[in-house]
Each structure stands twice: as C-alpha cells, then as structure tokens.
Structure 1
C-alpha cells in the first residue's frame, strides 16, 4: 500500500483587480478553511465539497496511508504577492522533506494563480516539488473549472482532473475522480496526456453548465468520449480575467496510448470550436434591469451583481445595485453579501432594534460611493455557520461579524470578510429567508444558480461597477498571445 502526500494551494487571480493578495488572505478562514498543516488538515476539510475532501474520502478504507502536508486558499483577488507565494511554497517544501518516503502526491490546485513575478505559479510550484521528489513519483492534481492549463503543468504531473460543473457542485466528486486516477497509476498503469489550447476568451457569466448553453452540451459531449482506456476528456474554459500569454480554454485528455488521447482532444476541440459563438448573453445596466422588474411581472427576480462577484476578484462592497434599488424606490428586496467590517462592527455595537447612521460600502474602487442614511439593525450573527447548498455544502464558514439591516424597504446582508452570495445559509444565519423577497441582488456570477436559481422566475445579469469586469471588451489586455479572440 502507498503513502500519499496531500496538499493544497489555491488562488484564482484576477490580474485586473487591485492587488497584491497578501499572506494573511491565505491564513484566514472564509467559506473554506484557513491555512492548515499536518493532521489538522483532515478535520478542517472533512465532509466538505472540496476536491481535497473528496480525494481523501475516496481512499479511506483502501489501505493507503494519507500524509496531510498543508492546505490553504485565498478568495479570488489581484496577483499574489511574491512574498506570500514564497512563504507558502517554502513551507510546503519543508513539510514534504519531513514527511518521510512517499509513493505519490495529490495536489488540490486552482490552476490560474498568478503572482507579481510568475504567470504560471502552479507550474513553478510543481517544478520545485519535482526537485525534491524526482520525476517518477505519481502526481495527480485536481483543478478548478477555470484553470489555465500550461505545458509545465501537464509535463510535471501524471494526471490532472478539473471540475465538470459551473456552479462547482462537483468539487468533492472531482477529488474522487483524482483518487481513481491515482489508484490506477499506483497499480502500474501509464496514461498519456494530450491537450490543446483554444484561442478565445469566454466571460464568466456565459460559462455556466447549469441550464445554459453551450457549456452544458460540451460537458455532456466530453463524457461520451470517455472510456476505460481514455478515462478523462475535459473541456476547461479558463479564467478570462487573467491577462497572461496562456489565458484561454483548453481541451485535456488522458488515455492508455498517445493516439487515443489525441483523438479525444481533436474530437472535443472540433465540437467546442463549432459552438464558440454560442457563448453569449445579455448584460443589463442597473436601470435597465430595474425597469424590467417594474414593468414585467414576476414572482421573484434574481439580479446577479456579477461585476462585484468576490468569486471573480470583486471587492464585495460596491454599492451600485443597492443605490439603484433606492433610487427606483423598490422594496421587498435584499442585497447579499456586502462586505463592510466597520459597518458590521457598528451594527453590533448598536444592537438589534436600533437605527444607525453609518456609511455603508464603497470603500474600494471601482464601486462607490458609500450609501448614507438611516439603517435599522434587524439581525446580527458571528459569521460562523455551515453551508447547506450544493456548492458550499459542508463548508464551515467564518465570515466575521455579520448584520442584516434595512433602509427604505431594502434589506442588506453584511459580512466582515468577502464571500459571494451562493448559499441560502447566509440568509438563514441572519434570520432571513430568501423566499420572502421579490427581488434578490446576489453578488455572484454563476455559483448562486446552484442554491438560488430554482427560487427565481427570472434571472438578469447586471453590469454595475466592480472589479470583476463582465464585458471582456472593456479590459485592456496587453499580454495575450497573438490570435486570441474575445467573445
């Protein structure tokens, strides 16, 4: 039986967002655990919808020994500070050297980390680990749906498996897929990789696989190309808010022969190329969206505040949608989650039932100015609760002091640490039920669809100010390789 090292180091880098992302962002908990080492990793990630959790669960009882090293992540944001990257990698290297003989290594990675100095941080991490373990040790990595595949990542691993779904409801399942690949490698099987980079960028809101086309159709087609001798054929759309030479989607396959892997890549690439123009949708201004709400009846409307999605590098504190609701005098609405630690502290100091005057949000650019007015404090929470929806299932959140306040008939759910509104437990923690509102403004691009989508008669994607630019034509790319098209 094998001794398998377990580690994770995740960050989705929006190179257009103000940075840098510092070490403390990896140390602190949010929806996912903060930096954790050694055996504590087992409990910290137990029964969560995370790839590391699914990998370990799939191998329990198999006789293999799991050797937990380190796991950490930071919310999507600007480039990772070089000092933060070097600190975490040095610690991983130390723990790997101290772990004793290992037979294999599992890596829970995002796949689109960019630092102040590195375009391909995962490739660099893998190169450094290989210098310690040698080239023969089986490495299996789990990747995010938005990973940016590079040749270094392919060369330095025996297998990489990416999420199939967006919303990422299958993160734990992806870990289980990685475990199956690991077991086959440890049994002596050899898989050949083939891959192809595609020369276009797809905006995040149009990458959804849940009830939207063409991503769902492409994923279904990929499954038809898989077989025991070709266990993985993957479409990995990439993270479009990353300005690097390798940015863009990729097709990746693993098979028992090079020809079989290449055939899978070519077949899926042809399908994706034929469908690439179908990656599109409508972005509404706040006024346009609220005019639709006013004039076209619906039981419940979700307005996706996509450009302030913390899951894409948004600050989580923009006020454009809240101010638009107030300007249009719409009530029975809720905005979630708006990140403002000083405001939440003021609400806690005042207490439930009080009315406070304190500027709300708009502390970052773009996204201001703060909203001023009288806020009734309706509910308070410590920000510690467990996710119940398909995406955040089992995640033990720690979002700092939270509050629910009301201004002119609009409820605002406030956290002290930014997190996209993708789980109804965020409402329940503050004594609210999302079904009680006719308008839900959710700071999220796609993940909200997993737990909130069924509540809505209508979903509108809204383009209010924020760092997670949804219309990619508005970004000034300077480092894309020649020939890349922006859809």
Structure 2
C-alpha cells in the first residue's frame, strides 16, 4: 500500500439515506438505517478498499453513514438521534479538507421539508465553510437550491434501475479528491428546477425517452469546463415543495455549465409527454389474465402500489387477496405461483412453531397500511423457513392452493434469484411470479420471459394524480398537463454565494 503523506487530503464520509413516502402511514425509526460508524464505513465501498488507488489518495475518515430500506416518514426522534451522533462524530474527527456526503435525497422527516439540506447546513456549522463537500445521490432524490448551495460538487445515478449506483459514488469521491489535490477553485454550479414529477417506472433509462435524455448527460460532462452533470427525476411519492425534477451541472467554466444545464433541462422538458411506463400496465386481474393466457414462463407481475423499495409499507393485503380469490389457483395442481411478499410476525412465528410440512392457519398483513384491505387469514402448508435475513429477519413460505406465499417478520424486497432459491422456491420453473416491486431489478428482468406492471393501491400508487399532492409547487406536469413552458434558464449558484435568506425557489 502506498504510504500517505501530509499532502494527502483528509476526507470525512457521512450521510443518511432513505426514500420516504408521505402517502404511507408507516414511520421509520433509527434502527432501520443500520448505521455504520468509523472505519467500518469504508467497507461499504469496494473502491475504497485498502490498496486501491482512490483509497491511497486521501486519508478517509468515517463519521456515520446510515441507509434504510425505503419506507414511511422518518420520525423526528429518529432523525434527532442519528444526526446528533453523526455531528458529534464529525466534530471529533478534527480538521478535514473535504466531506463526501452520501445520501439518497428523498428523506422526509416529521416537521422538516428539506431534510438533507438541513442536515448539510448543520454539518457546515461543525466543519466550517472551508472543507469541500461532494454530494452523491439517487436520481429519484430531490435537489433544492439550498442543497446545491451547501455542496461544492453534486451528482446522481444515470441509470434506472440503478446499475451504476456504486459507479456514481466512486465518481463523487474521485471528483472530490481531484478538486482537493489539484488546488482548483471551487466549481460553479448551474441549477435548474424542472416542473415535472413522474414515477420512476415512467422514467426508466432502459427505454426512450429517458434512455436518450440521460445519454446526453455523458455528452455534457465531456464538455471542456464541465466537471459533472446530472439529472434528477425527483421523488414522486412525497408531498413537499422540493419534489420535482432538477438539473445541476458543475465545473470551472460558468459558460460551459450554464449551456450544459440548459441543454439538459430543455431536453427533459421537451420529452415530458413521451415518458411512459417501462412495461405494459393494467389492473391486477388484467395482468393475471395475460399471464395465464401466455406461454411465456416464468411470467412476472409487479404488484406496484405497495413496493417496499419505493416507500410502500409492504403489508398491504389487497393484491394477495385478489390472487388467492382466483379459481385457477385454488387447487394444489393449479399453475405454480410465487407471491413476494407479506409481513406478518405472528404468522411467521406460527409457521416456525409448526414446522415445515405442517398445515397452519395464520393471519398477516395490514398492521401498518389497512386502508385498502384488512388483515388476511390464510390456511396452507409450511413449505420453507429461513432465519437470519438482514431485512426480513425470518421468512416462511406457505403454500395455499398453488400459490407459494412468502411471509416475513419484517418487510423485505425480493430482487435476486437467491431470495427465492434460499426458500426452496424455483422462480424459473414457476408459471407466475408476483413481486411487490415497480420496474424489475436486473436479475428479475433477466429471468422474466415476459412481464406486466399491475397498477395496484398503496403508498406508492403509480397513478400519481389520485394520491392527493397538495404541497408541491404548481403548475407541475402531469398534474397540470397544459401548463405553459417554464423558465429553464440556469440559476448560477456560485462559490461566493452566501446562504439564502430570500424566498425559496
């Protein structure tokens, strides 16, 4: 390993990340963030492993980084607990040259409208105005002018699904090291809010127009005078003034970042009416009818309204009730169906106590979100039990007719083939696999012979106009489909800017 010299910058790492649906009754507490502290933070990032070029280019100091499964609003007490520890740990690091602020950007906290900017302002009170801050985000985060002001560099993912998540984090860290080691002046930042708010499933970079819109990001970044370029779609399932799309381009040249930002913002706005769902959609019954009529196997159906990786409570029973009511699935010899998943701690305990092979009657779901259907009672054979999952803690599979229902102690996303095979399930041999998800994550997408998205109810309902936003800035597309063209000129947030005291934008 290369010996570090005093010339190597000292860089702290800190951040809290979650998507918080304000349309879910769930609340998120501090343990959900699984916070890492000190040197254990470096283990999150392969590109900072000892011996790597980036690791050896700086003195990296972990403060606190916590990442939670998307969920409901973060309680004020949880935020206070986590931020107090984060700030205390930062303060005890001593002098630093830079901070890598690793966040998601869609965290809603009780009593706060712009939690990430608020936290970064408090971090600035601890570390002072001199250290450079590089902020990395999910493209479904929200970018207020205040967040841009407090950051020197800011970037986000360029792919949805987020196959470039770790690449983005590395880019944020590398850009910070480069800025600190070259002695270049603080970048100029061109920020443009774009009054569009769309679901991630409508803006997937797998398909047009997002594929081309995001391809232009690389072109702008390659321009002389530009350090980084980014487009945020924003987070559609929270109701705050900051929720909307945004563009930020950073670099040493005011002219270059202005031109690049306006190019990206105008391109996104021009494409607003062309964004469409990444897969065919329909009611859940429509999707099941299509699956049963098709010869494609396995056929995946997304139960989208309660997607736990977008902020859904995960325990809405409406979808599973519809599935179990289908006559095709009543008999054990019917089409093989996998349903993932439904939280039910008592149901899981009962299955564990009975053991594999036993027939049990249990009740699960609707402990958090009972607005669409109540708790569901089901009788079936215990197919499998698994302990020790990071998210679910304990999982149990109950076969009800031909449906294999995955029950969990705590909610869990099912994104990988091993999530199923670890439970003695064979998704590739199943007829229909129903997952609480939006667009299929890469492994599921590769596994699916065909798929559809069911527009189901829940805290992350894909029909945004029926959710009831009333605090977002209007006019906003698609809520105001015939709104006039907005002002998409770049707002320059220059290095010499002071904290904003006027009206927020």
Scaled by the length of structure 2, the TM-score of the pair is: 0.87
**Which residue does the alignment assign to 1:263?**
259
Q: 1:155 to 1:173 in 2, by over 3 A?
A: same
1:319 is matched with which residue? 317
| Inter-CA distance 7–313: structure 2 relative to 1 (3 Å threshold) | same
Task: Tell me which residue corresponds to 1:357.
Answer: 361
Compare 454-463 and 236-245 and name the one that shifted more: 454-463
Number of the residue aligned with 2:147: 153
Report if the CA contact (8 A) 1:399-1:417 is conserved.
yes
Matched, 1:409 2:405: no
Post-superposition shift, 1:415?
Answer: 2.1
Judged with a 3 Å threshold, the aligned counterparts in structure 2 of structure 1 residues 58 and 106 are, in CA distance, closer, same or farther, namely farther
- Counterpart of 1:235 in 2: which secondary structure? strand
2:454 matches 1:453? no
The residue matched to 2:365 in structure 1 has which SS?
A: coil
Seen in structure 2, the aligned counterparts of structure 1 residues 379 and 112 have a Cα distance that, compared at 3 Å, is same
1:144-184 deviation line (CA, Å, top 9, x unaligned): 11110011110101101111111112111111101221122
| CA-to-aligned-CA distance 1:222-243 (integer Å, 9 cap, x gap) | 1122225313221110101111
Are the equivalent residues in 1 in contact too, given 2:318–2:372 (CA < 8 A)? yes
Segments of structure 2 that go 5 or more residues without pairing to the other structure are 1-7, 330-334, 480-505
Shift of 1:377: 0.8
Partner of residue 193, structure 1:
189
Deviation string, structure 1 residues 357-396 (Cα, Å, up to 9, x no partner): 1113233323433332321111111143xxxxxxxxxxxx
Q: What does 1:168-187 correspond to in 2, within 5 Å?
A: 168-186=162-180, 187=182
Distance 2:119 2:375 in 1: 40
**Which residue matches 1:7?**
14
Structure 1 residue ranges without an equivalent (≥5): 27-33, 48-52, 385-396
Coordinate RMSD, CA, aligned: 1.9
Deviates more, 1:242-251 or 1:228-237: 228-237
| Kept in 2: contact 1:366–1:467 (CA 8 A) | no
Query: Which residue matches 1:29?
Result: none
Aligned-pair CA distance for 1:283: 3.6
1:308 matched to which residue of 2?
Answer: 306
The reply to whether residue 207 of structure 1 matches residue 203 of structure 2 is yes
1:56–1:150 CA distance, 2 compared to 1 (3 A): farther
Other structure's SS at 1:39 match:
helix
Alpha-carbon displacement from aligned partner over 1:299-346 (angstroms, at most 9, x marks no partner): 221111111101122121222332222222233110113222221121
Give the structure 1 partner of residue 214 of structure 2. 219
Q: Aligned equivalents of 2:372 and 2:166: distance in 1?
A: 34
Aligned partners of 1:192, 1:58: CA distance in 2, in Å?
30
Aligned pairs for 1:384-399 (under 5 A) are: 384=389, 397-399=390-392
Residue 443 of structure 1 corresponds to 436
Match of 1:477 among 469, 473, 483: 469
Choose which of 65, 86, 91 in structure 2 pairs with 1:92: 86
Q: What residue number does 1:83 align with?
A: 77
In the TM superposition, 1:29-428 aligns within 5 A as: 34-43=34-43, 45=44, 47=46, 60-186=54-180, 187-190=182-185, 191-210=187-206, 212-227=207-222, 229-281=225-277, 283-328=281-326, 329-330=328-329, 331-363=335-367, 364-384=369-389, 397-428=390-421
CA distance in 2, matches of 1:76, 1:89: 18
1:486 partner SS: coil
Q: C-alpha distance in 2, partners of 1:119/1:113? A: 9
- Is the contact between residue 55 and residue 178 of structure 1 (CA under 8 Å) also seen in structure 2? no
- 56 and 146 in structure 1: CA distance in 2 versus 1, 3 angstrom threshold: farther
Q: Give the direction of change, closer, same or farther, for the CA distance of 1:61–1:46 in structure 2 (3 Å limit).
A: closer
What is the count of residue pairs matched by the alignment?
460
